[in-house]
Structure 1
Amino acid sequence: MSWFLLVASGMLEAVWAVALSASQGFKRWRPTVLFFVALPLSLAGLAYAMLDLPTGTAYAVWVGIGATLTVVWGFVTGQERATLARALLLLLLVGSVVGLKVVS
């Protein structure tokens, strides 16, 4: 259950990061509300997962999922340029996260 919650929390990290950017400095109300809902849910899920998982591993997985999904969202929306180097580095990041799960 902790791993499932950690993955969901990592996904919410991407949600609040994208919402924070879309809020344009908290000037747009919908992304601002989404940010203020997703952020505490994401952190609460991380905190709960840390009850069963090592802190360093849990945090690395949470950040890895959030960062990867945020960059992929940027690729999909055209806000960031997808290059072979970026794609390979994202694969390395995902591989590292999976590796941490395997060895923990």
Structure 2
Amino acid sequence: MGAVRRIALALVIIGALNWGLIAFFQFDLVASIFGGQNAFLSRVVYALVAIGGLICLGILFKPDEEIERVDHTRRQHFKNPDLNTEFGEEPDFKDERKK
């Protein structure tokens, strides 16, 4: 995930927390920090959160490819049929000593 997407995701999380505060406690943290909902800095923060949300729309459809790539690399590490330890099967070392 690139730096721009991480920043956008952080902005979306900030926006989600602010909306949670508004819903549960009727308290707008951004407006109280920056001087009200109509203050210039509040509107800038709201705009940045909105832009972050638009950027994160791409993340909504992207994880399927990343998960498949990660799972594919993990499967390679655990595919070893020579171990014979899966499902409680243990190698018989007594037979190998007699040979």
Shorter-normalised TM-score: what interval? 0.3 to 0.5
Which structure has more helix as a fraction of its residues? 1
Structure-1-length-normalised TM-score: 0.34
Structure-2-length-normalised TM-score: 0.36
Which structure has more relative contact order (CA 8 Å, sep 6+)? It is 1
